[in-house]
Amino acid sequence: MNETVGRRGFLGGLVAVGAFAATGCSYLSGNGWDHRVAQLSVPLTRPPGGARRIGAAVRPEHLVAGTAMAALVSRQCDFLVPEFHGQWSAVEWERGKPWYGNLDAIAAFARAQRKSVRGHALIWEKMTPKWARAAMLEERDWRIVETHFASLLPRFADTDEWIVVNECIDTENGEQNLQRNSFQQAFGNGYVARALETARELAPHARLLINDYSVEYSNPIDEARRTALLKLVERLRHDGTPLDGVGVQAHLELAKGPVAARSLAKFFDELQQMNVDIAITELDVLEDHRGAPIERRDARVADAVDRFMDVVNAQTGVSSLATWGLSDKDSWLQERAAATRSACACSPIDCAGMNRGLPYDGELMPKPMLSALTIA
């Protein structure tokens, strides 16, 4: 066996071949898909009693009744994460004129399917409307933030988990390792705790998380970010700030080599010792090159996920795992290159031309990554 394929990659290859000898992307089209997808979608293996929850980022267009994608979401996910439509910019582009149509659609689908929703994300600089950033810096009035929270949390009272602060760590240009964003500049580093306290007041029964990225690899930046995130959690814990979990985004990148298994395990252990849940929140894989045959590429992606899952599965503190989408064609990673963008835009779509970093390809065919997501 080729050493780069690895154990899981080989097994995973059987999953794909066993399901279909996929000779191209549009292997099946038309109504055949609904039937096929029902057969194809391989339920992720859950631990006895289904202790760990499996979810995925979704958009309203993925949830249209009667479509293969909606059937797949329904079969694969215990919970849903609005990929974009829960962001402040997406619900209140203009001050005082909130619109929740897309978020309502996702919540309605989840309710109908008896699935939970993870709210994503109450605070994220990148998706904070321009008017809000200007107002906070000018008025320095926490009620601007509170009003945003108060418009969402009671409306989606059955959302049982919220990413309260997304991507606040910055070890290169931050203020005491916190990103100098509008919230930090207007309210100081204490805005993280304040946001968690405000969320707890408005959603006393929801689990509250902070969520960050680049903590998975052996490099100085990831190491510094792991340390900074641990220090932040330690401080929040010391001050008695409400915090139920830490989200690790897990945007894996093949170019970065294998995940830092020992450092990551130590990081997870230290979080667990501080009695916070760990959520894998946005798992996907960025390929380093796309020239090899599909089988080889998919096996390398599966192998990277498998190594990551070996660390995850050794942890009792990891309570959930979400992939950042289910099908390659919807992955934000396609935006990273013109070639992958056009692979999604052509007709029929070019599954081989896409970044293949999610469990299903552009035509919802399962890939070896799916079997690598088997959680113990």
* Residues in touch with ligand G3I (CB under 6 A): 83-84, 87, 127, 166, 249, 282, 332
| Nearest residue (CB) to ligand G3I, 268 versus 324 | 324
Q: Are 244 and 279 in contact (CB under 8 A)?
A: no
Min separation Cβ 84 and ligand G3I, Å:
4
Min separation Cβ 83 and ligand G3I, Å:
5
Question: Cis omega (within 30 of 0) on the bond before 129?
Answer: no
Task: Please enumerate, as own/partner, the contacts of 257-261 that have beta carbons within 8 Å and a separation of 24 or more.
Answer: 257/217, 257/218, 258/304, 258/307, 259/216, 259/217, 259/304, 259/307, 259/308, 259/311, 260/216, 260/217, 260/218, 260/222, 260/223, 261/307, 261/310, 261/311
Min separation Cβ 99 and ligand G3I, Å:
13
User: First and final CA of the chain: distance in angstroms?
Assistant: 25
The residues, ordered by sequence, that sit 6+ positions from 238 with a Cβ below 8 Å of its Cβ are none
Q: Are 69 and 327 in contact (CB under 8 A)?
A: yes
Give the pair of three-digit tokens for residue 197. Answer: 């306290």
Burial of residue 298 (CB within 10 Å: 0-12, 13-18, 19+) is buried
The residues, ordered by sequence, that sit 6+ positions from 333 with a Cβ below 8 Å of its Cβ are 284, 286, 340, 355, 357
| Nearest residue (CB) to ligand G3I, 127 versus 274 | 127
| Nearest residue (CB) to ligand G3I, 76 versus 166 | 166
| Nearest residue (CB) to ligand G3I, 126 versus 266 | 126
Min separation Cβ 17 and ligand G3I, Å:
30
| Nearest residue (CB) to ligand G3I, 56 versus 136 | 56
| Nearest residue (CB) to ligand G3I, 250 versus 299 | 250
Instruction: Give the residues across from 56 on adjacent strands.
Output: 80, 323
Min separation Cβ 143 and ligand G3I, Å:
25
| Nearest residue (CB) to ligand G3I, 12 versus 357 | 357
Q: How many angstroms separate the Cα of 260 from the Cα of each of 20, 30, 210, 224?
A: 34, 43, 22, 13
Min separation Cβ 359 and ligand G3I, Å:
16
| Nearest residue (CB) to ligand G3I, 244 versus 282 | 282
| Nearest residue (CB) to ligand G3I, 166 versus 241 | 166
Q: Are 57 and 324 in contact (CB under 8 A)?
A: yes
| Nearest residue (CB) to ligand G3I, 131 versus 332 | 332
Min separation Cβ 350 and ligand G3I, Å:
19
Min separation Cβ 211 and ligand G3I, Å:
7
The residues, ordered by sequence, that sit 6+ positions from 161 with a Cβ below 8 Å of its Cβ are 79, 116, 117, 118, 119, 206, 207, 208, 209, 244, 245
Min separation Cβ 282 and ligand G3I, Å:
5
Q: DSSP E strands: which ranges in the chain?
A: 53-58, 79-82, 116-123, 161-166, 207-212, 245-248, 251-253, 277-286, 318-323
Please give the residue whose beta carbon sits closest to ligand G3I in the complex: 332
Min separation Cβ 54 and ligand G3I, Å:
18
Q: How many angstroms separate the Cα of 254 from the Cα of each of 16, 165, 314, 357?
A: 21, 27, 22, 10
